[in-house]
Amino acid sequence: MDVIAGEVFYVDKPLHWTSFNVVDRIRKKITKKLKIKNIKVGHAGTLDPLATGVMIICTGKATKSIDLYQNQTKEYIATLKLGATTPSFDLELPIDKIYPTHHITLEMIENVLHNFLGEIDQIPPIYSAVKVDGERAYKYARKGEKVELKPKKLVINKLEVLEFNLPLLKIRIECSKGTYIRALARDIGKTLGSGAHLVALQRTRIGEVRLEDCWQLNDLLQYLDDELLNSVPFTK
């Protein structure tokens, strides 16, 4: 293994960790073990703290491949709670509005999901890292300031109902880079004549990299601790 020449690690991001935290923990492990001041470590696609699942971590010269991974199709399993919204469109903030759900049927949901397939315009959540006039949108949101976010074009390849038991709806999503699943939850709720927010999210695939290919973070850190100085090929 040569982390400076470049290695690629597949990690199952733990709940409540930021993507930055995962990268920083791996970087610190490497620099401490190799007794170097710094090394390039990056990831190919942010996951919110309340999400889990596939993260691709690149080190050294392999960070040049990040764009390649970022542009690949992603798959998620998302659980939506219908009939209620939050300002962040997930569990980060408390419920702010309640909506009726008695009219929602499985057939209605399947028809609504079909309308989101293909190329769509999506307005990102205001609680996001999207930049507005050089400032992150979430900073405006936390100060209670309203900003206008421009819609972004993206592609939804697949939307599949996995479970439906009011008020919860679990779906599988295959989509392009830049898709905000929280925003998709918001839009699905609106189109159903109700509201919705995200209560669970797991990224199950990036390109051909699946969840079962991933290290648990603690196992990877232990592997790095045990094997980093040995010139053995990295395998997983």
Catalytic residue list: 48
Within 106-192, strands assigned E span 118-122, 131-132, 135-136, 152-165, 168-175
Cβ atoms within 10 Å of 120's Cβ, excluding its own: 18
Please report where in the chains the tokens 């205001």 appear, as a residue.
126
What is the rounded CA–CA span in Å between residue 35 and residue 54?
29
Cα separation, 158 vs 173, in Å, equals 6
Positive or negative, the CA dihedral 69, 73, 79, 83 is positive
Cross-strand bridge partners of residue 159: 173
Contact yes or no for 60/167 (Cβ under 8 A)? no
Q: Which residues lie closer than 8 Å to 213 by C-beta, 6 or more apart?
A: 10, 54, 236
Coil/strand/helix, residue 2? coil
| CA-wise closest residue to 138 among 44, 69, 73, 49 | 49
